[in-house]
Structure 1
Amino acid sequence: MTDNPSVPGRRRDLAMHNDWWASGWEHVLPRQGFPLTMLIGTASQPGFTGSLDDLLQEIFDGHWDMIGGGLDGALTFSWPDEEWDYEAAPEGREANEANRWETFGAMLTAAGYPVPKTVRDLSELYLAWGLACREETPDGTRWSMPAALPLPGDLLPLDADITKRLDRIRWTMRTGPLVDGLIHHLIDDLDEPHETLTSLDRLAAATGQDADDVRIAVTELVASGDAQVQRGQEPADAERLEAHQRFRLVMNWDHFHEQRVQLRIEGGNA
């Protein structure tokens, strides 16, 4: 085992790649993809030299339940001890697992990749896909990950349903903070107005965003049924508004609050 320069007796903190959720890999890979990415992300931090087995031994004494024990554990799409959701998957655990493997295996075979059976097999696919890099140096094995993970659709022939799902997830992660910024302005600064006469420029100045980002936020509110955009008495298309054009933003706050759970912590003196 390669010597590790970390302080003896001190546990290394796990690190997760920031791009994992936005990339959509968790919706494509077996469930061990998440802890494997965390393990490689941790191995990529400064101060570690060695194999993934070395790191697993250092942090978990060689056995990590989340990953299925060790790197030679079998891959699965479901947690063996989880209560099965028969409403979401009425066919049951075994049939669902078989279907997931059939789809996953077909994708990999079509793309010319071997179908992994163990976590170690999957780690080798990470290297082939460019999700991770392993380099042998005079000091030992070094790991790294790219700043932006390759997308599943760039490497595998995803079906239409999963492609649409991943596109929506990435779009939501892109637009979510923009919508939040606009909503905070409407709630905290304007006290939830039923409607407000404004423009993209004005909203941009009030939220600290640029006009194009505000346009995206307004468009998302309209698409989700939380708002309407009107010029005069006629509906208007937020995507076609000029930044300076005045419009009425009409909010449906009942719908908004029904669709979202908001935790608002009121500060104050004890």
Structure 2
Amino acid sequence: MTLRPESYALNPRLAKADPYTKEWEKGTWSVEFKQPQLQIARSYTPLPPRKDDPPGDLRFLIREETNGEMSRYLARLADRDKVELRGPHTEVELPVDVTDVLFLAGGTGIAPALQVAHTLLEARTQAGKIPNVRIVWANRRRKDCVGGTDLQSKDATETGEGAIVQGLRKMQNRYPDNLQVEYFVDEEGKVVDQRTISRLTQRPAELTDRAVSAGSGSKLLFVSGPEGFVNFLAGPKKYRGGEHLQGELGGLIGKMGIRGWEVWKQ
């Protein structure tokens, strides 16, 4: 789904710059969609802008859920329908000294992972200070990540690839030394387990000279996706005062007692 500010749609000359530039430089952020009939709202994470996207456009990865009032409402919208948004709301502001990011993303949780990669590798990159970013995208079905493999190649074909996989592959080709992506599919028997997390939290020695020096800054481990996915890996969030808080670190990561990594639940 793509949204464009109404003022920009009526007068394209107003679209001289991206109004969300500062948000893209911070880290992860979201906007709230409002369902007018039921007066409910839900936060969604915008996907990073593509090279030729008009300034101000916001793209979203939204999967229609059988019992999801908001996703069903959005799926029924027609071209040029109006949608009410609130925000933007900053979720996690990435520190300037971040050296390593590991992002465990389940399903549509890939959106904030793409935001993090975009922020660190493209929106605020400084020469000689490019962090190392590793993304694991876990899905139940192969059709949700068609074309996704652990291989990256400038000669890879786009035929049959999903839009998200294409975007990841292109970013990998631009930053082959700083971005690694792995695809896990439940129906193929490949799931995120303790061995996977242990392997990914150990920085490969050959990457030390390619990015910033290991141990000189922050290491961030993100877990994002459906509630069950987040709960299993990092324990549930807490809901207090109308806000979702991080809560205690639990789940598989909590039991492993990983040191040196700051964990964020998205």
- Give the alignment's TM-score, normalised by structure 1: 0.22
Q: Which has the higher contact order (CA 8 A, sep 6+)?
A: 2
Rg larger in structure = 1
Q: Identify, as 1 or 2, the structure richer in strand.
A: 2
Q: Identify, as 1 or 2, the structure richer in helix.
A: 1
- Give the alignment's TM-score, normalised by structure 2: 0.22
